[in-house]
């Protein structure tokens, strides 16, 4: 009497075939797909930003003149708040990595702590982005698009932008064309 016994090999493939693509596990392949797609997405964003930045170079705002304030603090602090937001973003990424590592070590308390810090950092970052864009869009500086499609900004004799509120008078009546 004969019997055949089927055993699973230690080198099981994720696609059901006999070969692993590029010798990689399923998780590793999917991580590479994610990294490549993420890189392509952000490359597209950066290319679009560069195109718009250099197409409208005459009307593009100067960062040091736009991002000059810190919420609830008076004074001229160019780009300090942007640097703070970058630090918060990196900090929350690090705490997320620490939470994942603590999870692999089955340390529930540390996972909770690091996830809480990650969530707080994310909320601070999102709130800061909302404040920054609200300030940027509402801003006292800015460009005006004319009827012929040209975009103009107003500057003083030294070339610094002038706030629109310095020379524009607000009226409450309807405009008549």
Q: How far apart are CA 86 and CA 45, in angstroms?
A: 18
Which pLDDT band, with edges at 50, 70 and 90, does 149 fall under?
Answer: confident
Tokens of 102: 């603590």
Q: How far apart are CA 146 and CA 151, in angstroms?
A: 6
Q: Is the pTM of this model over 0.85?
A: no
The answer to whether residue 8 scores a pLDDT higher than 90 is no
Q: How far apart are CA 116 and CA 108, in angstroms?
A: 12
| Segment 97-126, tens digit of pLDDT | 999 999 999 999 999 999 999 999 999 999
Mean pLDDT on 163-173: 71
Structural domain spans, the chain: 20-55, 60-166
CB 114 within 8 A of CB 102: yes
Helix residue ranges per DSSP H, 10-139: 26-55, 63-66, 80-104, 108-138
Instruction: Identify which of 129, 49, 46, 119 has the alpha carbon closest to the alpha carbon of residue 81.
Output: 129
Other CB atoms within 10 Å distance of the CB of residue 114: 22
The answer to whether residue 40 scores a pLDDT higher than 70 is yes
Q: Is 136 left (phi over 0), alpha (psi -120 to 50) or beta?
A: alpha
Instruction: Identify which of 132, 131, 120, 130 has the alpha carbon closest to the alpha carbon of residue 91.
Output: 120
Instruction: Identify which of 118, 123, 122 has the alpha carbon closest to the alpha carbon of residue 98.
Output: 118
Q: How far apart are CA 82 and CA 93, in angstroms?
A: 17
Cross-strand partners of 70: 73
pLDDT score recorded for residue 137? 61
Angle at the Cα of 122 (from 62 to 64), degrees rounded to 5?
Answer: 10
């Amino acid at each position: 009497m004969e019997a055949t016994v089927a055993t699973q090999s230690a080198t099981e493939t994720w696609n059901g075939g006999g070969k692993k693509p590029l010798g990689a596990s399923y998780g590793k392949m999917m991580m590479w797909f994610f990294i490549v797609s993420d890189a392509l997405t952000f490359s597209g964003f950066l290319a679009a930003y560069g195109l718009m930045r250099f197409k409208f170079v005459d009307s593009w705002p100067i960062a040091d003149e736009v991002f000059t304030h810190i919420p609830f603090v008076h004074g001229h602090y160019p780009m300090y708040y942007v640097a703070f937001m970058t630090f918060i973003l990196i900090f929350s990424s690090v705490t997320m990595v620490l939470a994942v590592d603590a999870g692999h070590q089955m340390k529930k308390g540390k996972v909770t702590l690091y996830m809480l810090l990650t969530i707080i950092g994310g909320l601070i970052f999102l709130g800061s982005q909302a404040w920054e864009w609200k300030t940027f869009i509402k801003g006292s500086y800015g460009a005006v698009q004319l009827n012929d499609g040209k975009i103009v900004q107003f500057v003083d004799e030294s070339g610094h932008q002038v706030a629109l509120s310095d020379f524009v008078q607000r009226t409450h009546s309807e405009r008549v064309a």
